[in-house]
Structure formats: C-alpha cells, structure tokens
A and B are shown apart, each in its own frame.
Chain A
Amino acid sequence: MTLGIIGDYTRPLTSHVAAMAKLHAALESLAGYEKIVEGALWDELTGFATELSGHADGLLSAVRLNTPALRSKVSDYEQLAEGWAAVFAELVGAESAEADAFRQALEQAAQDSGDPHRAQALLEGEAPVFRAGAHLLEEGVGGQAVFLDAFSAAVSLRHRVAYLAAYHRVRHLETGGPGLEGELESGDGKVLATAAEDLSDFTQAGLTGLHGDLVSEEVPLQSIRQRAALVLDEIGPKMELAGELLGEVARRSVPDSLREEVFEASLALAEAASKVGVLIAYAAYVLGHSHGLDAQNWLAGERKVAVELPFPSHVPQGTVVAVAQVPEMTPGTLVELRGVVDGLEISDDPAPPKFSSFVTLSAFDGSASVRLRAHMFSLRANGLSVGASCKVRGFVRHGEGWLAEGEVGLDIDRVSLTQLKKQSWVDELTYRMRPYFTLYLDEMNLFNTPGSL
C-alpha cells in the first residue's frame, strides 16, 4: 500500500506542481491567439502552431501519467476501507467482554464528540473514512477536466493555425524558384480539386468511423481511441497542403480561362479545410477523454448520443443558383451562391438601427454581382476578406431598407445548431466542439478562402 505524499501522479493534477506548470504555459500560449488575430500577425502563425503542438503533448502526457497512478491510489484507499470495514463487522459480531467494552467506549467517545451516530456509522462501514477513495476519484476527474479542455483546444487551434500559416507563408513568398512564378496552368485546378476531395473524404470517413464505433457496443474504448489518434496522426500534412495550395493560388495570377475552375476548386478546398476542423476537435476530445479517469462514463455518454441521433447533418443547403440568377428568385427563397468578395463593409443598418456587414459578391467571371447582408455581425472579424472566394447560403430579399430600389439581395442564413443538434449527430458534434473549433462563425452559413485569391 502507498499512502505517501511525495510528488507523484497519484494526486489530482490540479495539486501536481509540474502538471500545473504545463497547464499554465499552455493556457498562456492559447490566450496568445487573440493577440495574433487582433494584430494580424500572420508571420507569427507558424511558430505559434509549433508551440501549441508542444503544449498539447505535455497536457496529454500529464493526463496519461495521472490516470493509472491515481487509480492505484484510489484502489489503496478502497482496500484500506474494506479492511477497516471487515474489522468493524467482526467487532459488531464479537461476543467477548473486551469487544463489548470496546463498543461501549466507542459509543461514549462518539457521544462526547457531539455526534452519537458516528459510532454506528463506523461500525456499519458508512462513515466518511470509508468514502475517501470515491472522493479522491471524483477529485481526480475534476482535476483532469481543465487539462482535457486545454488539450482539445490546443490540438484544434494548432491545426487551424498551421493551415492559415501555410497559406500566408506561401502567399507572401517574395521569390520563387523556376516553375514557382507566373500564372497558374491548366491542370492546377485539378490538383486543387483532388486535394479538396481528399480532405472532404477524410472528414467523412473519420466522422462516419467514429459514429459507427460509438453505435456498436462491441467496439472497445481502445479501438475508438486508436481511430481518433490515427486522425490526428494523418491530418497535419493535409492541413499544411491545403494552406500551401491556397497560398499558391493567391501568390500567382490566374488566367481568365482558368478562373472559374481554380476559384471553385479553391473554395471547395477551403470548405473542406474548415469542415475537417470538427473532426480534428472531436478526435482530440476522444483521445484525451479516452485516457482520462472517467473514460468509461464518458464513453457511455458518447455512445448514448450517437445511438440516439442519426448521422447526417441537417444544415440548410438551399437551391444552388448563379449570382446572375438571384434577381429571378422568389423573395424568401433559400439559395446557395459562390463567388468572389468584391466589397466588404460594416455600416449602419436602417432597421433596426445597428451595424451590419454588407458584402458584394461577384460571379467568378465577373458577369454579375449581388449584395449580401450579415445582420448585426462583423464578417471581417470572422476572417472574411475582399478578394476571397466565398460560398454562402441566404434568403432572397426584395424591397428591404438596406437595398436600393429594385435591387435584390440576400440575408445570410444563420445555422441554428441549438435546434439542429437535436436531429443530427454531426450537428450535435459541430455544436459541442465550438469552443475548440467553430465551424459556423457567428452561425453564418458561409465558407471562404482564408484571404484573397
């Protein structure tokens, strides 16, 4: 039995000096994200991603060291409690004069301490001393919670930041070697489309696999953990590639003949790079919790959600139309458009009197444009930029105060995950993972490239 107190992982992580030092460093680093975004410090993104990766490793290793050690300590407490309970049970049944005297002395002492029921509780094995193991376990679970939250946040942010870093790094390359300058060529669109398809398939396979594992009671925790770990092992290069390819499109000029194909494929890649964020966040969440003290209870909860909810997302899609077709659409129709952001401003919105973001979205060939409104939200703060390719879903509007006479515009749809999560496992996950990765920023039903193309 080991009831020693020397610095080891048998204590809750929140009481472990070295583990807390790791946590402090990770939290400080995570908080740095706000400064990077505010300062638009794109050249710091690569270092930041590396830093987050190191913190994520440290946090997970603290949890992995803690779980078996603390469990063993809980077991010590429980065995001790069982031993004491057995001796007391023996005492209750003993018929010797010494045993009688001991029982009476115990009752008297309990009486003197102000709580006469304590003697009975001790003799029946129900006193606090018998519950120490359960409380240590509970404390251990609570102590791991912040480590697991920070781990999921660090992993998710790391991959998103690595993607953005790759985009900006390549885009801002001042010189390129032979073949790295000039216009994109025919065939480049295909490369982008293949990368988009690969990333999209990866997300679909990852989520379908995890859902299937959770639904089937026969799949053990270890297998689910392995699937999550595999996702995280493989995603790094895919995100880097996505960012680099989009950076390359932004750095080079795109001939008019390829414009539509390249911009469509770039947009598909950007959308895939966003959607995979939910899988990354969930894989990190699964990996972390599967190593935690509460892994079995946590898994039971995850299984319950997966069994209750069908897989497919119910996020509204709308009718796919070209930008030029919008004026022909019936007011109130939900449509899906793709195009380039030609204008982005925040200005006063006549009704109600508050600011809104107004976007001018042009067709890829520049033949038509339409104005979009994000009512009372700043799309710039969400990373939308002039020159970005954008896929957006929204409701057709005529005769609104923010539109000129005869103009037809679009109110951007908002994805109400609080409702959708009741009908779909993917939407429930997208909702729950928002602190680690928010797919629909401000619930806006849109996807965009990280900067201009």
Chain B
Amino acid sequence: MSCDDKKQAFENGFFDLEKAAAASDAARRKLENRLKAAGATCAIGALGSVVGNLPGLIAGGGACIGALLVADDAAAEYEKASKLHDIAARKNSKAFLQYFLCMRRHELGEPPVS
C-alpha cells in the first residue's frame, strides 16, 4: 500500500496554507496598526470615542484623510490575503480528506507469525 502521492499533495497544500496564513497574519497586523494610526491622526481615538466625533475627524484635516486612505489600502490588502488563505484552506482540507481516505482503506490484519 502506498498513499505517498496523496501525502505529498497534502504536505504541499499544508505548506501553501502556512504560507497564506503568514501573509494574512502580516496583512492583518498591518491593518490594525493603520487603523490605530488613522484613529489617532483623525483625533477620534479608539472605538468608544468614534461615534459622534465628526469634529475630531474634520480637525484631523489632510493628515486624517491620508491616514484613512492608508488604512483602507491595508484593509484591501488584508481582504486579498484572507481570500488567498481561504482558498488555501479549502484546498488543504480537500487534500487532507483524500490522504486519509487512502490511509483508511488499509487495515492491519493477521500479523506475520514470528
């Protein structure tokens, strides 16, 4: 019996998933930093002080707008990265099931007499 080809496909898929996860993690961290920066630049701080703080937003002026667009760019990058992660996760799951389907086709019977 050999499930080597299925195992290889799974390992390749798993490697791709780990790569996609690292990229997505980096994109998410970047987004979080950009969101914090936008909040600070637009003088509307954290969540609790966002609502109803239009004056803070306006007072931030050009710097605030710049920070907002940078945060939005980071969000777009994260969106892309998370989609790639999703694709990799689906492929990996499929490869996992194929690999284990192969492995579970075999079972230990009578061991050789020693």
A438 touches B104 (CB 8 A): yes
In the complex, whether A76 has a CB less than 8 A from a CB of chain B is yes
User: Which residues of A are in contact with B by a Cβ distance under 8 Å?
Assistant: 1, 3, 5, 11-12, 14-15, 20, 27, 30-31, 33-34, 36-38, 40-42, 45, 76, 79-80, 83-84, 86-87, 90-91, 94, 98-99, 102, 105-106, 109-110, 113, 118, 122, 127-132, 135-136, 138-139, 142-143, 145-146, 149-150, 153, 157, 160, 164, 168, 380-388, 434-438, 441-442, 450-452
In the bound assembly, the distance between CA atoms of A37 and B21 in angstroms comes to 34
What total of chain B residues lie within 8 Å of the partner, measured CB to CB? Answer: 64
Contact sample, A vs B, 24 pairs, CB 8 Å cutoff: A3-B35, A3-B36, A33-B103, A34-B103, A80-B35, A83-B47, A90-B54, A94-B54, A127-B72, A128-B76, A129-B68, A131-B79, A138-B86, A142-B90, A149-B97, A153-B96, A164-B108, A382-B107, A386-B110, A435-B101, A436-B104, A438-B101, A450-B109, A452-B110
Residues in B neighbouring A145, C-beta threshold 8 A: 89-90, 92-93
Contacts of B96 in A (CB 8 A): 146, 149-150, 153, 435
Instruction: Determine how close the nearest CB of chain A comes to the CB of B92; give it in whole angstroms.
Output: 6
- In the assembled complex, the Cα of A150 lies from the Cα of B14 at a distance in Å of 12
Interface class of chain B by DSSP: helix
Q: Among A38, A105, A143, A437, which residue has its beta carbon within 8 angstroms of that of B21?
A: A143
Min Cβ gap A176→B in Å is: 20
Q: Which of B7, B47, B100 contacts A153 (CB 8 A)?
A: B100
A1 and B89 contact, Cβ closer than 8 Å, known pairs A438-B105, A452-B110: no
Which chain B residues border A3 with CB–CB below 8 Å? 32, 35-36
Tell whether, in the assembled complex, residue B104 and residue A434 are in contact, meaning their CB atoms are under 8 Å apart: yes
Contact A105 B62 (CB under 8 A): yes
Residues from chain B with Cβ under 8 Å of A128 in the complex = 72, 75-76, 78-79
| C-alpha gap A157/B79 in the complex (Å) | 37
Write out the residue numbers on chain B whose beta carbons fall within 8 Å of the beta carbon of A384: 109
Instruction: Please name all residues of chain B whose beta carbon is closer than 8 Å to the beta carbon of A79 when the two chains form the complex.
Output: 47
Structural contact, B44 and A87, CB atoms closer than 8 A: yes
Query: Which chain B positions have C-beta within 8 A of A385?
Result: 109-110
Q: List B contacts of A91 (CB < 8 A).
A: 54, 57-58
> Given contacts A87-B50, A128-B75, are A437 and B111 in contact (CB under 8 A)?
no
- Which residues of the partner chain A approach B24 to less than 8 Å between Cβ atoms? 12, 15, 139
A356 to B85, CA, bound (A): 44
Tell me whether A380 and B92 are in contact in the complex, defined as CB-CB below 8 angstroms, given that A11-B25, A12-B24, A435-B100 are known contacts: no
Binding site for A on B (CB under 8 A): 1, 3, 7, 14, 17-18, 20-22, 24-25, 28-29, 31-32, 35-36, 44, 46-48, 50-54, 57-58, 61-62, 65-66, 68-69, 71-72, 75-76, 78-79, 82-83, 85-86, 88-90, 92-93, 96-98, 100-101, 103-112
The chain A residue with its CB closest to the CB of B57 is: A87
Name B76's closest neighbour in chain A (CB-CB): A128
Cβ-defined contact, B58 with A99, below 8 A: yes
Give Cα A27 to B47, complex, Å. Answer: 41
Residues of chain B within 8 A (CB-CB) of A42 are 108, 111
Nearest CB on A from B1, distance (A): 5
- CB pair B78 A132 closer than 8 Å: yes
- Residues in A with CB closer than 8 Å to B21 are 12, 14-15, 143
Closest partner residue, chain A, to B1 (CB atom)? A381
B61/A102 in contact, CB under 8 A:
yes
Q: Give A113 to B66 CA distance when docked, in angstroms.
A: 10
Q: How far is the CA of A388 from the CA of B28 in the complex (A)?
A: 57
B25 to chain A, nearest CB (A): 4
Cβ-defined contact, A139 with B75, below 8 A: no
**Which of B48, B62, B78, B104 counts the most A-chain CB atoms under 10 A from its CB?**
B104
Q: Is the CB–CB distance between A113 and B69 below 8 Å?
A: yes
B31 partner residues in chain A, CB cutoff 8 A: 132
CA distance A37 to B83 in the complex (A): 39
